Structure 1
Amino acid sequence: MTTELPDLFPNFETKVVHAKDMDFFCRIGGSGPPLLLLHGYPQSHVIWHKIAPELAARFTLIMPDLPGYGQSSIPPRSTGHGTYSKRTWAEAFNEMMRVLGYRSYFLAGHDRGARVGYRLALDFPGSVTKLAVLDILPTSDYWDLMDRNFGLKIYHWMYLAQPFPFPEKMIAAAPIRFLEHTLASWTAAKTLDCFSEGALEHTRDWFCRPDRISASCEDYRAGATIDYEHDKIDRDAGNTISADVLVLWGSKGIASSVDDPLAVWRRWSPQAQGMALPGGHFLPEEAPDETSDALVNYFGN
């Protein structure tokens, strides 16, 4: 990793927390009830840098990098992709929070982090007291909706899930070009304008590493296989999330591909509430004021 990257979290502690055979690179700061913030693809904890100051005035923020992303440990590939399943990661993050001294906490997740979040809320219902999911639908719902139009919108789900090492080799041939195309194409403006240059520096730094490109592909392979099966088992059993759930999606985001994202989530959480915010997929960076206000109002109530 480059050592000269800009500090986007002044006055926040940098800490590496070991849990479940993984080392999680974290930024920690603020005061008040604990709020675990989990990022998504193709980013790291720096996605929260625009809204962290306001949230830190009300909550103690714990912002780790997901396994394989940023500066956290890279799990080994495994048959069945279990080391990258959201169940495995949920167990690890729950243990990480216990190592930090928190047996219960709030959780907000964006993209892949939101998938870890709802799995954690399902598997450890006493740990997550309130959950917020940003611009996703549950994994099994996305796969079950995969028609021509939906497949074109989230083509990367099928591409990144192809067997090792095909997508890795293709992305590694031009990683920054792939990264910046992906980021821009999921914003409402179809540009990189919403991302600060400092955040882009951080993301470019780790995304160009072949081992981390492979880790992010394994994340999506797990999503196409074991994560889907875990979701299906819960849905067939009628299991629902007991914690309160806030659903936020971009008015031009990926979750807006369905007519009513909230209706989909209420099959998983009958008490779910939510709304669309202006922007595309990257709400904390495209709509930082609206996103922070929604999270403060929800978790602070």
Structure 2
Amino acid sequence: MFKGFRLEYVDLGEVTLRVRHGGTGSPVVLLHGHPRTHTTWHQVALRLAEHHTTVVPDLRGYGRSSLPPDEPGHRQSSKRAMARDVVRLMAHLGHERFAVVGHDRGSLVAFRTAMDHSERVSHLVVMDGLPVIEHLERTDAGFAQA
């Protein structure tokens, strides 16, 4: 499915991410939505790899990436923690500056990456991502019971 891509498990300290990467050129990282994994991107990644170094991880807690123990306020699963993972992963792979693309829940991670690490992000693409306030409004008690 990911012909020419390398599969690795990258230990970032508090989390280990499963990641595929391949291609050459300017780096781009693709972040999947919920409840998906990096395989969401298999067709897009192959095309991007023709002109870009393309990185597709499973976000922490998804697929075969690990999830640290629960923390107060569930900080271990925050978009900020996932954004740090993205920056650390890309640095581990030798990319200090990169484009980030996010779909669905991955769009929130992409946005947080750009907000918290603007010096690292060259381009930002957000696809099918609701504004954060919309996510919060949809998760009220009535919605959870429906």
Common fold: TM-score over 0.5: yes
Structure 2 counterpart of 1:52, from 45, 49, 56: 45
How many residues were matched structurally?
Answer: 143
Gaps of 5+ in 2: none
Q: Provide the residue aligned with 1:30 in structure 2.
A: 23
CA contact (8 A) 1:20 1:92 kept: no
The residue type equivalent to 2:36 in the other structure is Q
Q: SS of 2:43's equivalent? A: coil
In 2, the alpha carbon distance for the partners of 1:109 and 1:66 equals 11
The answer for the alignment partner of 1:15 in structure 2 is 8
For residues 23-102 of structure 1, what are the structure 2 equivalents within 5 Å? 23-102=16-95
Range with bigger deviation, 122-131 or 49-58? 49-58
Deviations 1:77-112 (A, max 9, x none): 222111111111111211111111111000101111
- 2:109 aligns with 116
Check conservation: 2:61, 2:77, Cα contact below 8 A.
Answer: no
Task: Give the deviation of 1:50 after TM superposition.
Answer: 1.8
Conserved? CA contact 1:19–1:93, under 8 Å: no
Inter-partner Cα distance in structure 2 for 1:57 and 1:117: 22
Normalising to structure 2: TM-score of the pair? Answer: 0.90
Higher strand share: 2
Matches of 2:86 and 2:11 in 1, distance apart?
Answer: 10
Amino acid aligned to 2:45: A
Amino acid at match of 1:112: R
Q: Deviations over 1:16-48 (max 9, x none)?
A: 112142111001111110100110101100000
How far apart are the structure 1 equivalents of 2:44 and 2:103?
13
Structure 1 segments of 4+ aligned residues over 2 angstroms from their partners? 140-143
Does 2:103 match 1:103?
no
TM-score with structure 1 length normalisation? 0.45
After the TM superposition, which of the residue ranges 74-83 and 22-31 deviates more from structure 2?
74-83
1:134-154 per-position Cα deviation (integer Å, ceiling 9, x unaligned): 1012312443xx3xxxx4xx8
The aligned amino acid for 1:71 is R
1:1-301 pair list within 5 angstroms: 8-143=1-136, 146=137, 151=138, 158-159=143-144
